[in-house]
Amino acid sequence: MSTSYLIKNAAILGGEPTDLLLQDGTIQQIAPGLAADDAVEVIDATGLVALPGLVDLHTHLREPGREDAETVDSGTQAAALGGFTAVFAMANTEPVADTAGVVEQVWRLGREAGHCDVYPIGAVTVGLQGERLAELGAMADSAARVRVFSDDGKCVHDPVLMRRALEYVKAFDGVVAQHAQEPRLTEGAQMNEGELSGRLGLAGWPAVAEEAIIARDVLLAEHVGSRLHVCHLSTAGSVEIVRWAKAKGVDVTAEACPHHLLLTDELAATYDPIYKVNPPLRSAADVEAVRAGLADGTIDIVATDHAPHPHEDKDCEWAAAAFGMLGLETALSIVQQTMVDPGLLDWAGVAERMSYAPARIGRVADHGRPIEVGAPANVVLYDPGATRTVDPSESASLSRNTPYRGMELPGRVVATFLRGKATVLDGKLA
């Protein structure tokens, strides 16, 4: 029989402290002053906020193919430590997750690891080549039950192919998650295009290359009546376009990454490729606009774009380095610092952006549920009063490419429960 947990004095979504009994995989009782019996483990959650288990719609677990950077096991450990109970694994593995076989492998590895639920994302096109549709239906019908499709890392730039993908996935209530990057406008691009890229002599990644694709895609989604998800939106212009599309009634959702809520392109002046990411770090004005968009709901969710890379791919010249940064273990702290502490979001808003909405977009029923009696016991206990200094060597990820190295961040995940089973206790893997 699995352990039952009695959580004492937890502030659900930052509300009045109460007790929660997690038993048999579900939340059995919620009330102040619940009595403990010998069979339960009691956790004192005084001062802690209880949130629904977080859901990340955008994670790179690298397996199969790049097990030197991350595995499903190590990546989901990092996820659990970050308060996540479910992650969606991007398709740009080797081989690409473009068949039922590969997505079932990733799904099975996730179940075996057991640190959080893993929902594979299927590639939109064969080999991410942008030429013809992968067998989306086979992936949807597989044991992995794929509902989110993305060529992330590459843009589905052919407008006809994008239209077909948007239409086709309607048959199984899927969604296309677009990596919005016009390829011709970003050939050789290294950083945000602006005055700084000109000074540093690094080829620019202009905002318009993202915005032009988002504008096209919302119009396509409207035309064919499909739903569209925009990955890692990073510019003020993108926020405006999504806001406009939503006002028109287009079925579009959008995500922002923690690093685009905090870091700016000025960091490229170090030439340290730890700050090299795609889409690139943008201007301070863009960061402000993304925060405002996340606060007012234009941007639906926070997703990490957790992108592990081995040391040698970051310990080199900027142009030679890989794009991407770690994110799972720091996401909630960054959201607290950039959104909660300044008063842009309350904890209910965090639950919506980091749990309910990503689960809705990904069409998973057992995650992203409010903390209430009868719901699956997917719960995270978080101490917003703690501070910590980020030490890359402490990460559960196999990679060390965090841009927050040495930074003091607020908050700490104390415990994570997946269907009533502790995956993290006292801030450590259980």
Partner 1 sequence: MKRHLLSAADLSRDDAELVLATADEMRSLADRPIKKLPALRGRTVVNLFFEDSTRTRISFEAAAKRLSADVINFSAKGSSLSKGESLKDTALTLEAMGADAVVVRHGASGAPHLLAHSGWVRSSVVNAGDGTHEHPTQALLDAFTMWKHLGESKPGGLEGRRIAIVGDVLHSRVARSNALLLRTLGAEVTLVAPPTLLPVGIEGWPVETSYDLDGVLPKADAVMMLRVQRERMHGGFFPTAREYSRRYGLDGKRMAMLQDHTIVMHPGPMVRGMEITADVADSDRSVIVEQVTNGVAVRMAVLYLLLGGSEPAVGGEE
The C-alpha atoms of residue 163 and residue 32 are separated, in whole angstroms, by: 53
With contacts defined by CB under 8 A, name the span among 209-217, 252-260, 266-274, 347-355 that binds partner 1.
266-274
- Catalytic option among 117, 286, 305, 313: 305
Distances (CA, A) of 60 to 153, 166, 278, 387, 408: 10, 23, 13, 27, 25
Rounded to a whole number of angstroms, the minimum distance from the CB of residue 74 to partner 1 is 25
Of 211 and 300, nearer to partner 1 (C-beta) is 211
Cβ atoms of 326 and 78 within 8 Å: the answer is yes
Of 161 and 185, nearer to partner 1 (C-beta) is 185
Of 40 and 185, nearer to partner 1 (C-beta) is 185
Of 71 and 278, nearer to partner 1 (C-beta) is 278
Distances (CA, A) of 196 to 1, 200, 205, 276, 290: 60, 6, 12, 14, 20
Rounded to a whole number of angstroms, the minimum distance from the CB of residue 201 to partner 1 is 3
What is the size of the binding site for partner 1 (CB under 8 A)? 24
The C-alpha atoms of residue 15 and residue 32 are separated, in whole angstroms, by: 12
Binder of partner 1 out of 95, 212, 219, 318 (CB under 8 A): 318
The C-alpha atoms of residue 295 and residue 343 are separated, in whole angstroms, by: 9
Residue span 319-358 as binding mask against partner 1, x where in contact by CB under 8 A, dash where not? xx--------------------------------------
Rounded to a whole number of angstroms, the minimum distance from the CB of residue 169 to partner 1 is 36
83 in contact with partner 1 (CB under 8 A) = no
Q: Is the dihedral of CA 154, 82, 69, 105 positive or negative?
A: negative
With contacts defined by CB under 8 A, name the span among 80-88, 132-140, 317-325, 348-356 that binds partner 1.
317-325
Residue span 153-192 as binding mask against partner 1, x where in contact by CB under 8 A, dash where not? -------------------------------------x--
193 in contact with partner 1 (CB under 8 A) = yes
Distances (CA, A) of 176 to 92, 227, 273, 364: 15, 7, 30, 16
Binder of partner 1 out of 183, 316, 372, 373 (CB under 8 A): 316
Identify the helix (H) or strand (E) that includes residue 160. Answer: helix 159-168
Instruction: Of 324, 330, 190, give the one whose Cα is nearest residue 258.
Output: 330
Could you tell me which residues come within 8 angstroms of residue 15 by beta carbon, excluding any fewer than 6 positions away?
none
**Contacts to partner 1 from residues 196-255, by CB under 8 A:** 196-204, 206
Rounded to a whole number of angstroms, the minimum distance from the CB of residue 210 to partner 1 is 15
With contacts defined by CB under 8 A, name the span among 113-121, 123-131, 147-155, 270-278 that binds partner 1.
270-278
Binder of partner 1 out of 75, 120, 174, 194 (CB under 8 A): 194
Of 197 and 253, nearer to partner 1 (C-beta) is 197
Of 168 and 205, nearer to partner 1 (C-beta) is 205
Binder of partner 1 out of 16, 37, 38, 195 (CB under 8 A): 195
Question: Tokens 């039922």 — which residue?
Answer: 100
Rounded to a whole number of angstroms, the minimum distance from the CB of residue 191 to partner 1 is 10
Of 160 and 199, nearer to partner 1 (C-beta) is 199
> Is 305 in the active site?
yes
406 in contact with partner 1 (CB under 8 A) = no
265 in contact with partner 1 (CB under 8 A) = no
271 in contact with partner 1 (CB under 8 A) = yes
Q: How many helices (H) and strands (E) does the chain have?
A: 12, 19
b/e code 87-115 from CB counts within 10 Å (16+ = b): bbbbbbbeebbbbbebbbbbbebbeebeb
The C-alpha atoms of residue 307 and residue 59 are separated, in whole angstroms, by: 7
Instruction: Of 59, 238, 39, 249, give the one whose Cα is nearest residue 152.
Output: 59
Of 143 and 316, nearer to partner 1 (C-beta) is 316
Instruction: Of 408, 409, 392, 263, give the one whose Cα is nearest residue 336.
Output: 409
Instruction: Of 356, 350, 353, 306, give the one whose Cα is nearest residue 328.
Output: 306
Binder of partner 1 out of 16, 37, 38, 317 (CB under 8 A): 317
Q: Residues in the site for partner 1, rule: CB under 8 A? A: 190, 193-204, 206, 270-272, 312, 315-320
Q: Which residues are catalytic?
A: 305
